[in-house]
């Protein structure tokens, strides 16, 4: 797998990472043994970037990662976690020094390490980006040797533009996929100019872009694709990228004929993301070894032709843009 430099950190990571939300919670029943096998297989195949958060299964995802890394020994991947969502309510005041320290201490324990590679503020309220003292607190955590770097995971492009004004922010995580093109228009150039890493999350639009769903597909009640379809529990943009399910299914049918050769639609969706130089790493979620391996193989596909990129952009313009473009 090709590597890309991770912003100003001096580190490089493979283009396809591992998104570890599904192995924590909110995706229906996920088997720990399968999750562990998926992580091992991904690391064996050269994945060296894992994204998790302290709230994924209330620390379960972090602890599974720690267990796998302990079993393996040797070189550690770059493990990015997130803090802030354990707050009962998202307020600026919640991001106090005391709370941030406590979150970081807990993630240090969960991940069984003495210094966290990368801590991202986990979709904090928009106002937080206008409070430099929150970012100064992250600087102090670096000074204390508890974290190596910090970044942000944002909902909106404008939050990212504000966040990268802080010189200590090394990375921005944002929803970017065939159903979310605005980051490429509005954010990527500025991020590149400041040498800020871009982590492309929800790259498969929660699985929609695999092409495997139909109108009558049923999701478990504990799967956010069921319980958050209208944003009942958290930002609806995290579920199917915020695209109404039926609209997404119709757009997928327009993309399906573009898939050719041995590649799957999921692999095409991931290779599409890698066409953007500003993207450092795409982090598909995988709940088992088969998915993890299929996703990694996308990095081996040849670059997509201009006509293909245009055809996908056209589907976005005509079918998807009205639902998402001005929301995030």
Ligand X SMILES: NC(=O)c1ccc[n+]([C@@H]2O[C@H](COP(=O)([O-])OP(=O)(O)OC[C@H]3O[C@@H](n4cnc5c(N)ncnc54)[C@H](OP(=O)(O)O)[C@@H]3O)[C@@H](O)[C@H]2O)c1
Active site residues: 56
Computed over its alpha carbons, how large is the radius of gyration of the chain? 18
Asked if 153 and 21 touch (Cβ cutoff 8 Å), the reply is: no
Sequence-separated (6 or more) residues with CB below 8 Å from residue 41: 289, 292, 293
- Please, which residue, 55 or 278, has the CB nearer to ligand X? 55
CA distances from 223 to 228, 229, 297, 304 (A): 8, 10, 26, 33
27 binds ligand X (CB under 6 A): yes
Q: How far is the CB of 101 from ligand X (least distance, A)?
A: 21
173 binds ligand X (CB under 6 A): yes
Q: Residue 303's closest CA among 266, 269, 259, 271?
A: 271
Print burial letters for 1-31: b (CB count within 10 Å at least 16), e (below 16). beebebbbbebebbbbbbbbbbbbbbbeebe
183 binds ligand X (CB under 6 A): no
122 binds ligand X (CB under 6 A): yes
20 binds ligand X (CB under 6 A): yes
121 binds ligand X (CB under 6 A): no
Q: Residue 203's closest CA among 12, 49, 319?
A: 49
DSSP state of 24: T
Stretch that binds ligand X, among 16-24, 62-70, 128-136, 178-186 (CB under 6 A): 16-24
Stretch that binds ligand X, among 70-78, 91-99, 131-139, 207-215 (CB under 6 A): 207-215
271 binds ligand X (CB under 6 A): no
Site for ligand X, residues 273 to 302, rule: CB under 6 A? 283-287, 291, 294-295
171 binds ligand X (CB under 6 A): no
Rounded Cα distance, 108 and 23, in Å: 19
Strand pairing report for 3-5 and 12-14: antiparallel
- Please, which residue, 193 or 258, has the CB nearer to ligand X? 258
For residue 306, report the phi and psi dihedrals to the nearest 5 degrees: -55, -40
- Please, which residue, 107 or 206, has the CB nearer to ligand X? 206
245 CA to centre of own chain: 20
59 binds ligand X (CB under 6 A): no
206 binds ligand X (CB under 6 A): yes
Q: Choose, by CB under 6 A, the member of 238, 263, 272, 274 that binds ligand X.
A: 238
SS3 149: strand
Q: Choose, by CB under 6 A, the member of 41, 157, 172, 204 that binds ligand X.
A: 204
Strand pairing report for 281-282 and 197-201: parallel
- Please, which residue, 144 or 231, has the CB nearer to ligand X? 231
With CB under 6 A as the rule, give the number of residues binding ligand X: 30
Asked if 84 and 55 touch (Cβ cutoff 8 Å), the reply is: no
Q: Choose, by CB under 6 A, the member of 7, 183, 203, 242 that binds ligand X.
A: 203
DSSP E strands in 176-236: the ranges are: 197-201
19 binds ligand X (CB under 6 A): yes
Q: Choose, by CB under 6 A, the member of 69, 78, 79, 123 that binds ligand X.
A: 123
210 binds ligand X (CB under 6 A): yes
256 binds ligand X (CB under 6 A): no
248 binds ligand X (CB under 6 A): no
- Please, which residue, 155 or 193, has the CB nearer to ligand X? 155
> To 5 degrees, how large is the angle CA 139–CA 172–CA 179?
165
205 binds ligand X (CB under 6 A): yes
Q: How far is the CB of 26 from ligand X (least distance, A)?
A: 9
Residues that bind ligand X (CB under 6 A): 19-22, 27, 51, 82, 122-123, 153, 173, 201-207, 210, 212, 238, 266, 283-287, 291, 294-295
């Amino acid at each position: 797998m090709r590597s890309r430099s991770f912003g100003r950190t001096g580190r490089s990571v493979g283009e396809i990472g591992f998104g570890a939300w599904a192995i924590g919670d909110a995706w229906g029943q996920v088997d720990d043994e399968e999750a562990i096998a998926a992580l091992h297989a991904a690391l064996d195949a050269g994945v060296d970037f894992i994204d998790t958060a302290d709230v994924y299964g209330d620390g379960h995802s972090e602890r599974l990662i720690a267990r796998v890394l302990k079993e393996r020994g040797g070189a550690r991947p770059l493990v990015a976690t997130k803090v802030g969502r354990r707050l009962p309510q998202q307020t600026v005041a919640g991001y106090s020094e005391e709370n941030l320290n406590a979150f970081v201490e807990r993630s240090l324990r969960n991940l069984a390490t003495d210094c966290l590679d990368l801590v991202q503020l986990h979709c904090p309220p928009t106002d937080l980006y206008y409070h430099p003292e929150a970012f100064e607190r992250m600087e102090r955590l670096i000074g204390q040797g508890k974290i190596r770097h910090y970044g942000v995971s944002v909902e909106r492009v404008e939050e990212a533009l504000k966040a990268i004004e802080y010189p200590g922010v090394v990375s921005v995580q944002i929803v970017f996929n065939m159903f979310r093109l605005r980051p490429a228009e509005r954010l990527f150039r500025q991020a590149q100019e400041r040498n800020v890493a871009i982590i492309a999350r929800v790259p498969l639009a929660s699985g929609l872009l695999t092409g495997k769903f139909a109108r009558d597909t049923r999701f478990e009640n504990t799967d956010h694709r069921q319980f958050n379809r209208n944003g009942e529990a958290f930002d609806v943009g995290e579920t199917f990228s915020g695209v109404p399910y039926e609209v997404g299914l119709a757009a997928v049918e327009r993309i399906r004929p573009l898939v050719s050769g041995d590649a799957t639609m999921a692999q095409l969706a991931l290779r599409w993301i890698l066409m953007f130089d500003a993207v450092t790493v795409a982090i598909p979620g995988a709940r088992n070894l088969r998915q993890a391996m299929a996703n990694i193989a996308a990095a081996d596909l040849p670059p997509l032709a201009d006509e293909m990129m245009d055809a996908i952009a056209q589907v976005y313009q005509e079918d998807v843009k009205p639902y998402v473009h001005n929301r995030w």
